[in-house]
Structure 1
Amino acid sequence: MVFDFLQPLSKSCIEYVDGLSKQALGKKITLHTDSDFPNLDSVSIAIIGVNEFRGLEKENSQNSLDGFRRALYGLYPGNWNVAIADLGTIEAGESLKDTYFLVQTICEDLLRKKIIPIIIGGSQDLSYPMYRSYDGLDQMVNFVSVDNKFDFSKESTNLANSYLSNIIVQEPNNLFNYSNIGYQTYFNSQEEIDLIDKLYFEAYRLGEVSNNIAIAEPVFRDADFVSIDMTSVQSSFSGNFIDFNPNGFSGKEICALSRYAGISDKVTSFGVFSFNHEQIEFNLVAQVIWYFLEGFSFRSNEYPFGSKENYLKYTVLIEEDELVFYKSDKTSRWWIEIPIKSNVNNKLKRNTLLPCSYDDYLASCEGEMPERWWKAQRRSII
C-alpha cells in the first residue's frame, strides 16, 4: 500500500496537539500516529508534508515540518464542517524520481477517493508529479500557479525553475490551460513571456493582481490544480530573507488567493512550496492553508456540478460572434459559454462554461471581446 511510505507525525508534534485547547484546529484533524493511520472513508482533505529540496539543488538545514504543523494546529477553525486528516510526511527518496513517484501515486489514490491532497513543503517542481496524478482520470487539467516566474527556463539547472517545460512537452499531454498569477517581468525572459502568448495561456502581472485582486477569482474558479510558490510573497511579509524578494504579494493578498482556490468548486489538489523552514514563514504558510480550508467550507457546488437551469442567461452580439453569459442566482458569479466549432477537432467535446466576471459582461456590451474567452476558444482547437 502506497500510504505505507508516509512517515507518521513526530512524538513531539503529537504531544503538542494533546496540550491544545479542545477548540483548536489540531483537535479537529485526524492524525497519522505511530499506532494509527487515519480512516479515509469520510475525509475530504488530506494534508501531506514533503521533505524534498533537490529540485532546488540545495539541502534544507531543518527538514522537520513540525514547526508548520504547530503553527497550523494552534489556529482556531471557523464555523466549518470539514473532515481533515494529516497523513504525515514523505521523506526524500533515494532519487528525486522516487519522491516524484510517491507524490504522484499518493495524490492519484486520494483523487480517486474524492479527497483533496494538500502538499506542503519541498520545491515547486513537486507540482509536476501532482499534475501527473491526473493522468489516469481521463480529463483535461487547468493548472494555476501563483509564482513570480513561469518556470520553463531552458537555461536553469534547477528543476524548480523549469518543471513547467516537462508539463507542456511530456506525454500524455492533459494540460488544457496554464495560468500564472503574480509574475514579475524582470524575473522572466522575453522568450518565456512570448511563449505564454503563443500557447494562449494566461498570465497576470503582480501589480495587476495587487491593484484588483478580484480579477484572479474567475481564474481559480476554473482551476483543477493550484500551486503556490512562497517566493512570490514579499520578504517583509514572509520572513524569507535567504531568497530575498523586495517585491511580491503581501501576507493578506496571498491568503486571499488561497481562499479563492479553496472556494472554487473545481479545485481538487493544492500545493504550497519553496518556503524556508523558519518559524516566521511557517506561521504565514499555516494561515495560507487556513484560508484554503475556510474557502473549501463555503463551496457552493455550482458549475460544473450544478445545472444551468438555475442561471440567468444573457446574450451579447459582437460583430459575427454571439456571446452567451450566465449569472448564478445563488452566488451572483458569472460564466461565459465556449461553443464547439463544428468544422474543427475540438479538445473540448461539448459546449462548456468559462468563469468570468461582471466586468467581462459589461465590456462585451461595449463591443470589447473578453480576452479569456478568446484564448479559451483558441486553446480548444490547437
Structure 2
Amino acid sequence: MNFNFLSPVPDSVLVYNELLSAQILGRKLRIHSKQDGIPDLEAVNIAIIGVLENRNDVNYIGEPFSLNDIRKSFYSLFPGSWSTTVADLGDINKGETVEDTYFALKEVIGILVKKDIIPIILGGTQDLTYANYRAYDALMPMVNLVNVDCKFDFGDSQKPIKNNSFVGKIVLEEPFNLFNYATIGYQTYFNSQEEIDLMEKLYFESYRLGQISKDITIVEPVLRDANIVSIDLSAVKGSEVSSHQKHSPNGIDGKEICAIARYAGISNKVSSFGIYEYKPSMDDELTSMLVAQMIWYFIEGVNYRVKDDDFSNENNYQKFITLIDDQELIFYKSIKTGRWWIEIPFLSEVNNKLKRHTLLPCTHQDYIEACNNTIPDRWYKAFQKNCV
C-alpha cells in the first residue's frame, strides 16, 4: 500500500501526548510515528491526514505551516463511548509543486475510501478540496459536495486554481462528476451577484448564515446527501477564533460548526471530511481547540450512524403521498430514526443523470409544506438538475 507520501506525527507532539492522562483520546489512536511507522489499518474506521500545503492561498507570503497545535488539542480530549477506531496517519508535506501535493492527497484518499476508511483532511488551503474531489473520479460516477463557507469559491476558472476559485474548476473541468454543490453559511456581501445568480442557474443549493443561525437543523438533509464535506474556517465568527484566524465579525459560531460536523458524521454517505484554511499563530489555542472539537463531533457522528435508508422492506418506513397541481410527491419516513426522504421520479424521455428513482433526504417541514401546496426547494432543484 503506497503511503510513501505521509510523514510521521512529529516527536514533539508524541512526547506531549505521553505526558497526558492514560484516558485521553491521544492514547486511544493508532499513530504514524517515526519509530513504529504506519499503523495497522485493520478495523480502522477514520484516518486523520494533515496536508501542509498553503501555496495557493491568494495572500500567500511563504509563512511556515504546522498542524501540531491542532493535534495537541485533539489528543488532549477524552473520547466518547465509541466503538470507532481512529488513526492519525501524519502529514502530506508540500510537494515540489502544488500539483504534486494534489496527486499525493488524491492517492491517499483513494486508498482509504476504497478500504471504507473515512479520511479527515486537515489543511492547508481549501483548494485541496479539488484534489479530494478528483480522488472520486475512480470511485463513483456522481458526487455531492457540501462547502461550509462564507463564499461560493467559484472564482475565475480561466485563471490558475486558488483557494477562492477551486469550485469553478470542479464545475467546469472534465470528467464532470459533480451532481450537487451546496454552500452552508454563505454571507451575501462576500459574493458577487454573478456568483449568486450562477448558483441559481445551476440549481445548486445555498443556505445563508441567517437561515442556519435561525434553525441549524435545516442543513441535516443536505449533509445526509453529501459524499464530500469541506469546511472553510473563515466561515466561523471572528470572536470564536484566535487573532490570526479572524475573517469576519459575523459567521457560524462554535456550537453551530460542531453541530454541522456531527451531522456530517451521522450521514451514511459522507466518505471524506476536510477542515481547511487553518492559520497557525502564537495565540493559537482557541482555533486549534475549536478544530479539535469539530473533529471530535465528526467522530461522534460516525459512531452513531444508523442504516435507515433501506426502503426494500415495508416494515422499515412509512410512505406518504401528496399532490401538488398534477405532480405527485412521494415521501418516506424511517420508522427507526424519524428521518424523511422525498422521491425524485425517473424521466424516461430525458437524458437522465440518475437512471432510476432516487430518494432525496428532506425534512418533516418539507412534507408539511407539500401538504400545503408548496413544492420543496430541494426537490425542485434536484428534479431540474435531473432534466438537464
SS class of match (2:4): helix
Quote the Cα distance in structure 2 between the aligned partners of 1:113 and 1:251: 32
Quote the Cα distance in structure 2 between the aligned partners of 1:179 and 1:347: 18
Other-structure match for 1:264? 267
In the alignment, structure 1 residue 46 sits paired with structure 2 residue 52:
no
Give 1:116-135 correspondences, 5 Å limit: 116-135=118-137
How far has the Cα of 1:86 moved from its partner?
A: 0.3
Quote the Cα distance in structure 2 between the aligned partners of 1:166 and 1:107: 19
Quote the Cα distance in structure 2 between the aligned partners of 1:240 and 1:252: 19
Quote the Cα distance in structure 2 between the aligned partners of 1:95 and 1:302: 44
Cα gap change, 1:45/1:60 in structure 2, threshold over 3 Å: closer, same or farther?
Answer: farther
Q: Once the two structures are superposed, what CA deviation does each residue of 1:224-270 show, in whole Å capped at 9, x if it has no partner?
A: 00000000001100224454311101111111111110111110000
How far has the Cα of 1:60 moved from its partner?
A: 6.1
How far has the Cα of 1:66 moved from its partner?
A: 1.2
Any conservation in 2 of the 1:255–1:287 contact (CA below 8 Å)? yes
Cα gap change, 1:307/1:38 in structure 2, threshold over 3 Å: closer, same or farther?
Answer: farther
Other-structure match for 2:6? 6
Any conservation in 1 of the 2:112–2:118 contact (CA below 8 Å)? yes
Any conservation in 2 of the 1:116–1:270 contact (CA below 8 Å)? yes
Cα gap change, 1:212/1:9 in structure 2, threshold over 3 Å: closer, same or farther?
Answer: same
AA at the equivalent of 1:380: N
Name the stretch that deviates more: 16-25 or 75-84. Answer: 16-25
Other-structure match for 2:376? 370
AA at the equivalent of 2:317: Y
Quote the Cα distance in structure 2 between the aligned partners of 1:119 and 1:59: 23
Name the stretch that deviates more: 182-191 or 2-11. Answer: 2-11
User: Unpaired segments of 5 or more residues in structure 2?
Assistant: none
In the alignment, structure 1 residue 150 sits paired with structure 2 residue 190:
no
Quote the Cα distance in structure 1 between the aligned partners of 2:285 and 2:194: 37
Name the stretch that deviates more: 192-201 or 135-144. Answer: 135-144
Other-structure match for 1:212? 215
Alpha carbon RMSD of aligned pairs, Å? 1.5
Tell me how many residue pairs correspond in the alignment. Answer: 381
Other-structure match for 2:96? 94
Any conservation in 2 of the 1:240–1:275 contact (CA below 8 Å)? no
Quote the Cα distance in structure 1 between the aligned partners of 2:227 and 2:112: 14
Any conservation in 1 of the 2:39–2:87 contact (CA below 8 Å)? yes
How far has the Cα of 1:192 moved from its partner?
A: 0.3
Name the stretch that deviates more: 340-349 or 243-252. Answer: 243-252
Cα gap change, 1:257/1:242 in structure 2, threshold over 3 Å: closer, same or farther?
Answer: closer
Quote the Cα distance in structure 2 between the aligned partners of 1:43 and 1:14: 20
SS class of match (2:370): helix
Any conservation in 2 of the 1:53–1:59 contact (CA below 8 Å)? no
Quote the Cα distance in structure 2 between the aligned partners of 1:48 and 1:369: 41
Cα gap change, 1:111/1:59 in structure 2, threshold over 3 Å: closer, same or farther?
Answer: farther
SS class of match (2:290): helix
How far has the Cα of 1:36 moved from its partner?
A: 2.4
- The normalised TM-score by structure 1 is 0.97
2:115 to 92, 113, 116: 113
AA at the equivalent of 2:381: K
Any conservation in 2 of the 1:240–1:281 contact (CA below 8 Å)? no
Name the stretch that deviates more: 18-27 or 354-363. Answer: 18-27
Quote the Cα distance in structure 1 between the aligned partners of 2:64 and 2:97: 19
Quote the Cα distance in structure 2 between the aligned partners of 1:158 and 1:275: 19
AA at the equivalent of 1:3: F
Other-structure match for 1:293? 299
AA at the equivalent of 2:40: N
Other-structure match for 1:314? 320
Any conservation in 2 of the 1:240–1:276 contact (CA below 8 Å)? no
How far has the Cα of 1:54 moved from its partner?
A: 0.8
2:202 to 185, 199, 203: 199
- The normalised TM-score by structure 2 is 0.95
Quote the Cα distance in structure 1 between the aligned partners of 2:23 and 2:342: 42
Quote the Cα distance in structure 1 between the aligned partners of 2:171 and 2:341: 27
2:247 to 244, 247, 250: 244
AA at the equivalent of 1:100: Y
Quote the Cα distance in structure 1 between the aligned partners of 2:177 and 2:33: 36
User: Unpaired segments of 5 or more residues in structure 1?
Assistant: none
Quote the Cα distance in structure 2 between the aligned partners of 1:282 and 1:143: 25
Any conservation in 1 of the 2:311–2:317 contact (CA below 8 Å)? no
Quote the Cα distance in structure 2 between the aligned partners of 1:50 and 1:242: 18
In the alignment, structure 1 residue 226 sits paired with structure 2 residue 229:
yes
Name the stretch that deviates more: 9-18 or 53-62. Answer: 53-62
How far has the Cα of 1:153 moved from its partner?
A: 1.6
In the alignment, structure 1 residue 357 sits paired with structure 2 residue 363:
yes
How far has the Cα of 1:55 moved from its partner?
A: 1.3
How far has the Cα of 1:137 moved from its partner?
A: 1.4
How far has the Cα of 1:21 moved from its partner?
A: 1.6
Quote the Cα distance in structure 1 between the aligned partners of 2:4 and 2:81: 33
Give 1:11-26 correspondences, 5 Å limit: 11-26=11-26
SS class of match (2:105): helix
How far has the Cα of 1:280 moved from its partner?
A: 2.1
SS class of match (1:23): coil
In the alignment, structure 1 residue 346 sits paired with structure 2 residue 352:
yes
1:77 to 72, 79, 84: 79
